[in-house]
């Protein structure tokens, strides 16, 4: 019997099946093209309008905005009100998401838009109180400065409203699912306070040394101190008695980058080919997309100034006008003190002071959290400042650490910034500096009248006792601040005989200076290299300055490579070890991208620290170890000279430490680049990508980051600074702004902003300066009519109210 299988559906002829398959594929391709096209349309529609005319409410007159080939806006206004309103509008066009993220971070409001993972960070900044300090500062500003803040906020809000109505907010807002709220004058001042935080430093070092004294013998702890503390026995005993778990208390603290700093220098007309002073400045901060700096040229009947500012703040903080130019590096003074507070066992909000229990100020904060319930959070503020050791609300203890800091006091930095723009000579600029309180900065100055000058400017406390090495007793008035270093006695130099002035976060005063500035300074190598180069030629020009800003000669390697190699005599070398050693023996001490030696040397120096500390100090505590590089350098010097060093002795002595760390460095380099040292290249590990803040969420890195990283020469200790993340080698720190000005013609300067001006991924100015930044190239920014040539022109006209 023949079985017949009935088909529910007839078989389609082969030709018909093939047509259907093709139709499905074509439909999928069409849908994909539509989706891709829609995605690109979404990205492109948020691009700012840079040509034509836009009506802006609040303007008194027409404003022209010329964007040059580098994307730098040149804003021409007929009055100061319109100038700052236009600056706010134009900056928001390019950097609105960055501005919003900056104010949220500084204010402790990130959780509201990114979720619970930002809660500890928000708690920290709510505790610190940058926004509260900015609010107190507002009353100190002049009417002119307040007016600038108001005008700037008006411009930002004009753009926010326009973008919302036209549904063209930057794509980041769509991804995170929120819209920016109205901009306020307080937002601008809070961002300014955040920069003081980023450059303030040193409280974490005090906390680390507190931990050392509790965890190790006194002799062993003191080896990692920058200097022996004044009032040593008293303060050390107070620290030992304090029942504070430093490791637990600060596990979630936000720590500024240890290498935040800068280079700046100025040479006189006697030492320049042009016969006029030349100024160079390259501040070192985190590298990201968008750049931390925003280049702008502002022009009105009252002002003609060009340079950079932090997105969200009016004016120009670093730059030049028609007669002067100025730049900064971080002084890094001790302006933060941790106080050990004794808490009343009967009332956790009372603290002992001169035998009396004093009530602390208690602020109830509510932190909004995306997709979660809001969190109520309590901030406790003693007479010295906020209780910092318990910002994450760990168990209560009888003692706590509060922080006193100049930046938490009312201050008027924006007042100084606005006055810089109008200063015409050193006396006027110096007068403007009276308003610049925090962070304390090394200002260098040049003028068309031939003056060059330097000043370490800002509020630097005078202490009754102690020197900020350790936390101090807060229950007595013995360790209070007794005012600040008198303004007229701050370190100042005008027209020195040497014909130049240079700073690189180095020690700026000798032992004869009557006031304490700091315990921790940058390693001396950048400063010494700058001095060596400036003294190497009788006459210098702008090209020399640009080359020096990108210089990658490593003086640390010149000092330590012979020492390290000397102590490897008895090491049982493998073939790979021998080849690795040859790279160091034949090295010219340049941190060049094509060389193997920089890779091995920098890994070796890092591994020395790991051998000394990793087994005994947790990663969380090592994050608080400010000045670690200087300490390791000094331990090596002492051991090489034959002095006993406990940390080295306990690890088997100097040869043993160097041999183990060398092997670790070779192994680490091999994992990165294979087992043939001849083929190792510093630039294949030491590379930069300028990561966007959302790129950590995969696959958003494909959208926001440039494909691939660019090799970068230099290191943390070279003038061409390029710090990196140790785990990956990725360059994440350096001079995102470099500028050189020859005062023969202050209307032009040579600049680079890494990675570019715009925060919009589809903008031609998004990553267009990455190659220049990594190769040492510059663009020329003009303040004369030449910037209009081939520029895009946008006209802002008064709109209806």
- Going from the C-alpha of 113 to that of each of 127, 286, 742, 776, the distances in angstroms are 19, 23, 45, 38
What pLDDT is recorded for position 232? 66
Cβ–Cβ under 8 Å, residues 421 and 307: no
Give the mean model confidence (pLDDT) for residues 510-537. 94
Neighbouring-strand partners of residue 483:
none
Give the mean model confidence (pLDDT) for residues 535-556. 98
Confidence of residue 6 (pLDDT cuts 50, 70, 90): very low
* SS3 at position 637: helix
* SS3 at position 189: helix
Confidence of residue 2 (pLDDT cuts 50, 70, 90): very low
Q: Which of 62-76, 380-394, 600-614 has the lowest mean pLDDT?
A: 380-394
Provide the total of helices (H) and of strands (E) in the chain, helices listed first.
Answer: 26, 30
What pLDDT is recorded for position 754? 95
Confidence of residue 248 (pLDDT cuts 50, 70, 90): confident
How high is the mean pLDDT of the chain? 92
Is 337 marked within a binding site? yes
Is 61 marked within a binding site? no
Q: What distance in Å separates the CA atoms of residue 751 and residue 545, rounded to the nearest whole number?
A: 12
Q: Which of 92-106, 417-431, 555-569 has the lowest mean pLDDT?
A: 555-569
What pLDDT is recorded for position 724? 93
Domain boundaries, the chain: 555-731
Confidence of residue 3 (pLDDT cuts 50, 70, 90): very low
Torsion-angle region of 310 (φ positive above 0: left; ψ -120 to 50: alpha; else: beta): beta
pLDDT higher than 90, residue 30: no
pLDDT higher than 80, residue 697: yes
Sequence-distant (6+) residues with CB within 8 A of 74 are 65, 66, 67, 68, 297, 299, 783, 787, 788, 791
Element holding 537 (H helix, E strand): none
Q: Exposed e or buried b for every residue in 135-168, given b needs 16+ CB within 10 A?
A: eebeeebeeebebbbbbbbbbbbbbbebbeeeeb
How does DSSP assign 553-607, residue by residue? B-HHHHHHHHHHHHTTTT----HHHHHHHHHHHT--SB--TT-SHHHHHHHHHHH
Q: Whose CA is closest to 298, among 451, 177, 411, 152?
A: 152
Give the mean model confidence (pLDDT) for residues 165-170. 95
- Going from the C-alpha of 761 to that of each of 40, 286, 289, the distances in angstroms are 11, 19, 9
Structure confidence by residue, pLDDT tens digits, 264-316: 999 999 999 999 999 999 999 999 999 999 999 999 999 999 999 999 999 99
Our CA dihedral for 243, 249, 254, 258, rounded to 10 degrees, sits at: 40
Q: What distance in Å separates the CA atoms of residue 194 and residue 107, rounded to the nearest whole number?
A: 9
Give the mean model confidence (pLDDT) for residues 138-145. 96
What pLDDT is recorded for position 8? 47
Cβ–Cβ under 8 Å, residues 322 and 783: yes
Q: Whose CA is closest to 230, among 467, 21, 50?
A: 467
How long a stretch of residues is the chain?
A: 801
Q: What distance in Å separates the CA atoms of residue 278 and residue 274, rounded to the nearest whole number?
A: 9
Q: Which of 454-463, 591-600, 640-649, 720-729 has the lowest mean pLDDT?
A: 720-729
Alpha-helix runs per DSSP H in 466-574: 525-535, 542-549, 555-566
Q: What distance in Å separates the CA atoms of residue 641 and residue 361, rounded to the nearest whole number?
A: 53
pLDDT higher than 90, residue 35: no
Provide the percentage of residues in the chain whose pLDDT is more than 70: 93
What pLDDT is recorded for position 573? 78
Helix 575-585 and helix 654-673: axis angle, to 10°?
100
Q: What distance in Å separates the CA atoms of residue 399 and residue 345, rounded to the nearest whole number?
A: 10
Give the mean model confidence (pLDDT) for residues 572-584. 90
Structure confidence by residue, pLDDT tens digits, 211-244: 999 999 999 999 999 876 777 677 777 777 777 7
What pLDDT is recorded for position 392? 56
What pLDDT is recorded for position 396? 59
Cβ–Cβ under 8 Å, residues 197 and 407: yes
SS3 per-residue string spanning 387-418: ECCCCCCCCCCCEEEEEEEHHHCCCCHHHHHH
What pLDDT is recorded for position 7? 45
Give the mean model confidence (pLDDT) for residues 311-340. 96
What pLDDT is recorded for position 390? 74
What pLDDT is recorded for position 51? 97
pLDDT higher than 50, residue 1: no
Q: What distance in Å separates the CA atoms of residue 686 and residue 113, rounded to the nearest whole number?
A: 33
402 classed as catalytic: no
Give Cα 576 distance to the centre of its chain.
38
Cβ–Cβ under 8 Å, residues 757 and 765: yes
Backbone torsions φ then ψ of 472, nearest 5 degrees: -125, 160
- The residue with greater pLDDT, 130 or 25, is 130
Cβ–Cβ under 8 Å, residues 86 and 76: no
Give the mean model confidence (pLDDT) for residues 79-83. 98
pLDDT higher than 60, residue 11: no
Q: Whose CA is closest to 625, among 210, 122, 287, 215?
A: 210
Cβ–Cβ under 8 Å, residues 148 and 407: no
Give the mean model confidence (pLDDT) for residues 329-346. 94
Which of 262, 402, 411, 715 is an active site residue?
262
By DSSP bridging, strand 472-473 and strand 399-405 are: unpaired
How does DSSP assign 266-320, residue by residue? EE-GGGBTTSS-EEEEEEEEE--SS-SEEEEEEESSS-EEEEEEETTS-S-SEEE
To the nearest 5 percent, what fractions of the chain are helix, strand and coil?
40, 20, 40
The CATH number of 555-731 is 1.10.1400.10
Confidence of residue 37 (pLDDT cuts 50, 70, 90): low
By DSSP bridging, strand 318-320 and strand 324-330 are: antiparallel
Structure confidence by residue, pLDDT tens digits, 195-212: 888 887 678 899 899 899
Task: Name all contacts of 667-674 with Cβ < 8 Å and 24+ positions apart.
Answer: 668/603, 668/607, 669/580, 669/596, 669/599, 669/600, 669/603, 670/576, 672/599, 672/729, 673/599
Question: C-alpha angle with apex 584: 579 to 587, nearest 5 degrees?
Answer: 120
* SS3 at position 703: helix
Q: What distance in Å separates the CA atoms of residue 414 and residue 313, rounded to the nearest whole number?
A: 8
Give the mean model confidence (pLDDT) for residues 540-555. 98
Confidence of residue 489 (pLDDT cuts 50, 70, 90): very high
Structure confidence by residue, pLDDT tens digits, 415-471: 999 999 999 999 999 999 999 999 999 999 999 999 999 999 999 999 999 899 999
First CA to last CA distance, the chain = 93
Cβ–Cβ under 8 Å, residues 407 and 133: yes
What pLDDT is recorded for position 756? 97
Give the mean model confidence (pLDDT) for residues 620-645. 94
Confidence of residue 32 (pLDDT cuts 50, 70, 90): low
* SS3 at position 748: strand
Alpha-helix runs per DSSP H in 682-730: 682-685, 700-704
How many CA atoms lie less than 13 Å away from 327 in the CB half-sphere?
A: 29
- The residue with greater pLDDT, 464 or 391, is 464
What pLDDT is recorded for position 785? 82
What pLDDT is recorded for position 779? 98
- Going from the C-alpha of 689 to that of each of 289, 724, 733, 768, 773, the distances in angstroms are 9, 11, 11, 12, 11
What pLDDT is recorded for position 36? 52
pLDDT higher than 60, residue 38: no
Q: What distance in Å separates the CA atoms of residue 287 and residue 716, rounded to the nearest whole number?
A: 13
What pLDDT is recorded for position 136? 97
pLDDT higher than 80, residue 62: yes
The C-alpha R_g of the chain, in whole angstroms, comes to 29
Q: What distance in Å separates the CA atoms of residue 110 and residue 102, rounded to the nearest whole number?
A: 9
What pLDDT is recorded for position 246? 76
Q: Exposed e or buried b for every residue in 239-250, given b needs 16+ CB within 10 A?
A: beebebebbebb
Neighbouring-strand partners of residue 779:
751
């Amino acid at each position: 019997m023949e079985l017949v299988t009935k088909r529910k559906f007839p078989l389609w002829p082969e030709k018909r099946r093939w047509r259907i398959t093709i139709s499905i594929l074509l439909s999928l391709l069409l849908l994909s093209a539509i989706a891709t096209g829609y995605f690109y349309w979404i990205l492109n529609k948020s691009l700012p309008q840079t040509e034509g005319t836009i009506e802006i409410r609040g303007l008194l007159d027409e404003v022209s905005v010329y964007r040059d080939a580098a994307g730098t806006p040149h804003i021409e206004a007929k009055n100061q009100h319109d100038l700052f309103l236009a600056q706010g509008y134009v900056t928001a066009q390019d950097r609105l998401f960055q501005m919003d993220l900056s104010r949220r971070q500084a204010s402790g409001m990130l959780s509201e838009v990114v979720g619970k993972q930002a809660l500890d960070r928000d708690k920290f900044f709510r505790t610190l109180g940058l926004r509260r300090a900015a609010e107190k500062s507002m009353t100190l500003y002049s009417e002119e400065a307040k007016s600038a803040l108001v005008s700037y906020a008006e411009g930002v809000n004009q753009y926010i409203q326009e973008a919302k109505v036209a549904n063209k907010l930057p794509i980041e807002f769509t991804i995170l699912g929120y819209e920016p709220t109205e901009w306020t004058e307080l937002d601008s001042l809070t961002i300014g306070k955040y920069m003081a935080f980023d450059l303030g430093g040193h409280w974490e070092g005090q906390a680390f040394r507190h931990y050392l004294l509790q965890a190790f013998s006194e002799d062993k702890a003191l080896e990692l101190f920058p200097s022996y503390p004044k009032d040593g026995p008293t303060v050390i005993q107070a620290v030992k008695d304090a029942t504070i778990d430093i490791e637990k208390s600060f596990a979630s603290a936000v720590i500024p980058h240890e290498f935040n700093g800068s280079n700046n220098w100025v040479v006189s007309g006697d030492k320049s080919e042009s016969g006029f002073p030349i100024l160079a400045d390259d501040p070192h901060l985190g590298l990201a997309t968008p750049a931390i700096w925003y280049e702008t040229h502002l022009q009105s009947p009252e002002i003609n100034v060009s340079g950079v500012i932090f997105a969200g703040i009016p004016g120009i903080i670093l730059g030049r006008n028609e007669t002067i130019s100025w730049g900064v590096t971080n002084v890094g003074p001790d302006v933060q003190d941790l106080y050990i507070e004794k808490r009343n066992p009967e009332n956790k909000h009372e603290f002992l002071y001169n035998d009396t229990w004093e009530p602390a100020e208690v602020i109830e904060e509510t932190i909004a959290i995306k997709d979660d319930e809001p969190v109520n959070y309590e901030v406790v503020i003693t007479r010295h400042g906020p209780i910092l050791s318990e910002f994450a609300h760990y168990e209560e203890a009888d003692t706590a650490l509060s922080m006193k800091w100049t930046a938490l006091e009312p201050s008027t930095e924006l007042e100084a910034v606005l006055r810089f723009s109008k200063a015409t000579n050193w006396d006027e600029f110096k007068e403007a500096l009276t308003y610049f309180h925090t962070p304390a900065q090394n200002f260098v100055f040049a003028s068309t009248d031939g003056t060059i000058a330097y000043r370490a400017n800002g509020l630097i406390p005078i202490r009754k006792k102690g020197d900020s090495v350790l936390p101090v007793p807060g229950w007595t008035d013995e360790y209070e601040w007794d005012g600040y270093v008198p303004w007229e006695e701050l370190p100042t130099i005008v027209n020195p005989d040497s014909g130049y002035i240079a700073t690189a976060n180095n020690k700026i005063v000798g032992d004869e200076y009557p006031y304490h500035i700091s315990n921790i300074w940058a390693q001396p190598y950048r400063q010494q290299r700058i001095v060596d180069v400036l003294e190497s030629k009788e006459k210098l020009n702008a090209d020399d300055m640009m080359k020096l800003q990108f210089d990658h000669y490593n003086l640390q390697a010149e000092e330590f490579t012979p020492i390290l190699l000397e102590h490897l005599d008895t090491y049982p070398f493998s073939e790979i070890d021998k080849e690795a050693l040859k790279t160091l023996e034949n090295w010219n001490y340049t941190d060049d991208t094509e060389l193997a030696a920089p890779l091995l040397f920098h890994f070796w120096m890092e591994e020395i620290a790991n051998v000394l500390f990793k087994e005994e100090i947790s990663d969380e505590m090592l994050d608080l170890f400010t000045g670690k590089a200087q300490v390791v350098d000094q331990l090596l010097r002492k051991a090489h000279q034959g002095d006993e060093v406990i940390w080295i002795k306990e690890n088997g002595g100097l040869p043993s430490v160097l041999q183990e760390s060398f092997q670790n460095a070779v192994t680490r380099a091999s994992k990165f680049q294979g087992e043939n040292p001849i083929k190792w290249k510093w630039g294949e590990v030491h590379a930069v990508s300028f990561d966007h803040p959302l790129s950590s969420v995969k696959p958003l890195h494909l959208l926001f980051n440039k494909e691939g990283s660019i090799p970068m020469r230099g290191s943390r200790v070279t003038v061409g600074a390029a710090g990196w993340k140790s785990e990956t080698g990725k360059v994440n720190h350096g001079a995102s702004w470099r500028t050189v000005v020859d005062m023969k013609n202050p209307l032009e300067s040579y600049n680079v902003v890494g990675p570019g001006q715009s925060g919009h991924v589809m903008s031609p100015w998004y990553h267009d300066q990455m190659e220049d930044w990594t190769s040492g190239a510059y663009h020329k920014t003009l303040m004369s009519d030449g910037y209009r040539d081939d520029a895009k022109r946008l006209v802002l006209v008064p709109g209806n109210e």
